[in-house]
Amino acid sequence: MNYNWDFASVFDNWWALAVGLQGTLRLFAVCLILGMSLGLLVALGRRAHAKPVRWASTAFVEFFRNTPVLVQILWFYYALPILLPVEISPFMAAILGISLNSAAYSAEIFRGGIQSIEPGQWEAARAIGMSGLQTMRRVVLPQAVRRIIPSLTNRGVEIFKMTTLASVVAYVELLQQGKLVASLNFNPLEVYTVVAALFLIILYPIVRATYGLERRLARSD
Amino acid sequence: MPDPILRLSGLAKSFDTNTVFEDVDLDVAPGDRIAILGASGSGKSTLLRCVNLLEIPDAGRIELNGDVVGNPEKSGRARYPERELRELRKRVGMVFQQFNLFPHMTVAGNVAEGLVTVLGQSSGPARERALAELDRVGLRDKADTYPSRLSGGQKQRVAIARALAMDPEIMLFDEPTSALDPALVGEVLGVIEQLANEGRTMLLVTHEIGFAYHVANRIAFIAEGGIYEIGTPDEVLKNPRREKTQKFLAEHRRFQF
């Protein structure tokens, strides 16, 4: 195969990709924080005493786990404004779709982590007079989070990659900008190679860092 | 007789259709050291766990230093609001068979945890107090290590310090040496004996009959869904009056010489 790789045409448009990267990072940060914290809340909701709360949390998880993120993003962007008098920006639609989906998955991870803590830990905390919430905050969650860091890392990586789905509503992120550059310069091979490489270059160090964190936290056990 | 620290009256508990005990009455006077003996499955641990409401009794009344715990209803059943559970547990110390130390906290952190989180003390004084309690169980030098570094006996001594830090009015020991290597039993019993000598009120579920004889001032033998026989160690352990107590002691004496 005689293909003349021409990365110059990609790097000439580096600013377009830089703008895209900025959009990707912004969307990732928002979805990571929203997805994980909402996930924790939903996980706690699934253990609540009040039946309606339990039921609603379970319904939330099942709904968002069993519908595709791509469809959710499209639905929030095109369908929701028809139902409600709201204007949804591409950014908003992407945040809603990705965060809610991630919340459903991370809720299951948190739930598993919480359930893995031995009943004796609850009893010991309750026996010195802690409330259920104090026990959760001081005793159960710190141990549970340590155990689920590998799964949460996976979730974070997944969120980062899911940001590319936002291109479907023309949110300015890395893939969207890549498409733009490729269509202007007819160089999809080079552009998409660079886009993929950028994801790898950003994600790999982050994943390495969480391995380090895992090791550091494991030291006390 | 002085007012009891703990008074159980008509306490009953069953799991599904299995009645563990019904109608247990017990007065614990200040300074009492009551050893609770009985065959496994006789409900001695459940009885102990009802005292600090880790198990909620089906009926009966719990009084701690004259305070009725929960809201007894006419049916005999009581409701125990969350706030009352916490109040009671602050005043009752519990030591578990499996230690249940918090593995993500240092030894001193474990002991100080209740002081900080439950009693709202600031970390400085709480640590001081934790160190003093660790001193008492001989583990002050382990203050800044994590529980995973300790032997079973050391873990249990930390668990005792954690309960003592809350200044409990009564201590509950739920088979505190059953999970330990035989070589480590002595150090834990030594600490419990020391507390007994200081006049601390305690209920002790144990299989160590010799230790019970030595440390307790009263022995309660549990059988047939209640306190089957109760008295001084000499009465119950040397001259048991009732058949099941005699049988239990004979079986436990089989391997002692």
Please state, as a whole number, how many other Cβ atoms lie within 10 Å of the Cβ of residue A170.
12
Tokens representing B215 are 């440390």
Is the pLDDT reported for residue A8 higher than 90?
A: no
Instruction: Quote the minimal CA–CA distance from A34 to chain B in Å.
Output: 27
Residues in a beta bridge with B38: B222
Kindly report which listed range (B15-24, B101-110, B129-138) carries the lowest average pLDDT score. Answer: B15-24
- Cβ–Cβ below 8 Å for B86 and A131: yes
Would residue A192 count as lying in a domain? no
Instruction: Give B70 to chain A, closest Cα distance, Å.
Output: 15
Average pLDDT over residues B224-244: 93
Query: Which of B104, B113, B146 comes nearest A128 by C-beta?
Result: B113
User: Would you say residue A38 lies in a domain?
Assistant: yes
Tell me the pTM.
Answer: 0.88
B114 closest CB neighbour out of A118, A123, A128: A128
| Chain B residue at shortest CA distance from A218 | B104
Residue A89 in domain: yes
CB-based contact, A220 to chain B, within 8 Å:
yes
Residues of chain A in contact with residue B102, where contact means CB-CB under 8 angstroms, are: 121, 124-125, 139, 143
Range of the domain at A82: 24-170
Residue with tokens 């790097």: A11
Give the pLDDT confidence score for residue B31 in this predicted structure.
93
pLDDT tens digits, one per residue of B145-202? 999 999 999 999 999 999 999 999 999 999 999 999 999 999 999 999 999 999 999 9
The pair of three-digit structure tokens given for residue A172, joined into one six-digit string: 């300015």
Chain segment A12-39, per-residue pLDDT in tens? 889 999 999 999 999 999 999 999 999 9
| CB under 8 A, 24+ apart: contacts of B78-81 | B80/B53, B80/B56
pLDDT averaged over chain A? 93
> Considering only CB atoms, which residues of chain B are within 8 Å of chain A?
52, 54, 82, 85-87, 89-90, 92-94, 96, 98, 100-104, 113-114, 117-118, 146, 148, 159, 162-163, 166
Strand B59-64 relative to strand B6-15, pairing = antiparallel
Closest Cβ–Cβ partner in B82, B94, B148 for A127: B94
Angle, vertex CA A12, rays to CA A6 and CA A17, nearest 5: 105
B257 confidence band (pLDDT: 50, 70, 90) = very low
Cross-strand pairs, B8: B26, B62
What are the tokens at B241? Answer: 């009056």
CA distance B118 to chain A (A): 6
**Which candidate in A121, A123, A128, A147 is best for mutational testing of the B interface (most B CBs within 10 A)?**
A128
Q: Is the pLDDT of residue A203 over 50?
A: yes
In a domain, A133, yes or no: yes
> Alpha-carbon distance B252 to A146, whole Å?
44
Distance in angstroms between the alpha carbons of the first and the last residue of chain B = 38
SS3 B176: coil
* Count of domains for chain A: 1
Q: What pLDDT does residue A204 have?
A: 93
Instruction: Give the mean pLDDT of B205-209.
Output: 91
Specify which residues B78 forms β-bridges with: B72
- What single string gives the DSSP state of each residue in chain A? ------THHHHTTHHHHHHHHHHHHHHHHHHHHHHHHHHHHHHHHTT-SSHHHHHHHHHHHHHHHSS-HHHHHHIIIIIHHHHSS----HHHHHHHHHHHHHHHHHHHHHHHHHHTS-HHHHHHHHHTT--HHHIIIIIIHHHHHHHHHHHHHHHHHHHHHHGGGGGGGT--SHHHHHHHHHHHHT-HHHHHHHHHHHHHHHHHHHHHHHHHHHHHHHTT-
What's the rounded mean pLDDT across residues B23-43? Answer: 93
Q: Which of A28-32, B25-29, B41-45 has the lowest mean pLDDT?
A: B41-45
- CATH code of the domain containing A149: 1.10.3720.10
In a domain, A95, yes or no: yes
Give the pLDDT of residue B96: 97
Contact residues on chain A for B92, CB-CB shorter than 8 A: 127
For A74-125, write each residue's pLDDT tens digit: 999 999 999 999 889 999 999 999 999 999 999 999 999 999 999 999 999 9
Residue A178 counted as domain residue: no
Kind plus residue range of the DSSP H or E element containing B36: strand B33-38
- A149 lies within 8 A of chain B by CB: no
> Which residues in chain A touch residue B100, judged by CB atoms under 8 angstroms apart?
118, 120-121, 123-124
ipTM: 0.92
Is residue A205, in this structure, part of any structural domain at all?
no
Residue B40's pLDDT band (cuts 50, 70, 90):
confident
Q: Tell me if A88 is assigned to some domain.
A: yes
| Mean of the per-residue pLDDT values of chain B | 92
What is the three-class DSSP state of B9? strand
For position B256, what pLDDT does the model report? 54
